[in-house]
Amino acid sequence: MIELIGTNAGLVWNILNGGGKMSVKAIKKATKIKAEKDLYAAFGWLAKEGKLAFEEVEGEVFVSLV
């Protein structure tokens, strides 16, 4: 399970590194991570490392690299 979270965190980081700030929905589509729990686990991994910033705009959450 830890390996999957790390792999997904890498996918999220690569997408954000190339695309800048993106919505959670767009990240999910771009990474093709199917389960939301897996996506949020990847966010948690990267957030714990201090690599993500979150912003809510009109009820939608956007994520970017710090």
Domains, the chain, with CATH or none: 2-65 (1.10.10.10)
Determine whether 65 is exposed, middle or buried from the number of CB atoms within 10 Å of its CB (0-12, 13-18, 19+).
Answer: middle
At residue 47, the pLDDT reads: 98
Write out pLDDT tens, residues 5-22: 999 999 999 999 998 999
Distance in Å from the first CA to the final CA of the chain: 26
* C-alpha span between 45 and 10 (Å, rounded): 10
CA angle 11, 17, 22 (to 5 degrees): 85
CB atoms within 10 A of CB 25: 11
Residue ranges of the chain with per-residue pLDDT less than 70: none
What is the model's pLDDT at position 60? Answer: 97
pTM, full prediction: 0.94
Average pLDDT across the chain, whole number: 97
Predicted local confidence at residue 8, as pLDDT? 98
